[in-house]
Amino acid sequence: MRDPHLVAGTLNRQHDTARIAAEAAGFRGPLHQDARWNEYDHLALLARYAPPPDGERPLQGLLDHALAAWMKDPEPAGGGSWPAFAEGARAALAELPAALGRGRDAVVFTSAGPLAAVCGALLSLPDEGVVALNRVAVDASVTILVVGGSGTTS
């Protein structure tokens, strides 16, 4: 990778990861910030949509339930909608090639939620598929997207 364009959300953990990875790889370019790559507030989602813990359902099950409920909520009280969140991540990706120029790479430091939103859209997944993808995307995972004349693919 030659002099990649570095982008991260505005969260501390995204910046820390970007700094460590860039240093290890010898990337010297500036780190650009874009809040559209930030993670959703999982604690707010759990508080708003998850059923009360009953000791039987693991945390991941509660998060899956909350995420699915958020996706179906047309007007969430006290927060942004899933469509707005997902569109923000997709727009951030769509705008990225303009910052690159021909033949230049980008490295984006993000989180599972934006990654699931982008990949879910590229794969035409239903909401349930995006929840499943969100469940298995882990910090420090690598997803390669290719942007070319025929569009963006994963």
Q: Residues 136, 114, 83, CA angle at the centre, nearest 5°?
A: 115
User: pLDDT, tens digit, for every residue of 54-113?
Assistant: 777 788 889 999 999 999 998 887 779 999 999 999 999 999 988 887 778 899 999 999
Instruction: Please say whether the beta carbons of 110 and 37 come within 8 A.
Output: yes
Torsion sign, CA atoms 134, 136, 141, 144: negative
Q: Which domains does the chain have, with CATH numbers?
A: 5-153 (3.40.50.1240)
Query: How far is the C-alpha of 18 from the C-alpha of 147, rounded, in Å?
Result: 22
pLDDT over 90 (residue 6): yes
The fraction of the chain above a pLDDT of 70, given in percent, is 92
pTM, rounded to two decimals: 0.87
